[in-house]
Structure 1
């Protein structure tokens, strides 16, 4: 799928660059994008819960990504005051 803000020619060039890119570089890009996504979600949680500690922010993020059932298996019962 071509993004709405990208021309067909630019997309074709970008895909060719990705095809020629070494696997290690592709993996680094994926890991960097995941880290950026995690940072953005946590920034949003900090805005929503300004009183929360970094540990509480991490637990809120983990609950959001793991779901309630797996979160409770991993972290135990919720004890963070900001969790709803």
Structure 2
């Protein structure tokens, strides 16, 4: 896993294949919180999703590159839970 402290707000998150996965809202613990604009489709739209820090391969030049292709990485996205979901 890459050093998540190097990840900045609004950094682009891309899969190993170079396809856009999302935009960083912030890092929360060992996960990357994506902006709501990247919240998916249908009932997944309009709220934050999270990517595990374990999927981060590198952080370079303001871009977070994942170790998995974008289509695989989004299957690992987690939705917000609990108290934060109410916000």
Same fold (TM over 0.5): no
The structure carrying a bigger strand percent of its residues is 2
- Indicate the structure whose relative CO is greater, using CA pairs within 8 Å and at least 6 residues apart: 2
The structure carrying a bigger helix percent of its residues is 1
**Structure exhibiting the larger radius of gyration computed from Cα positions:** 1
Structure 1 length-normalised TM:
0.21
Structure 2 length-normalised TM:
0.21
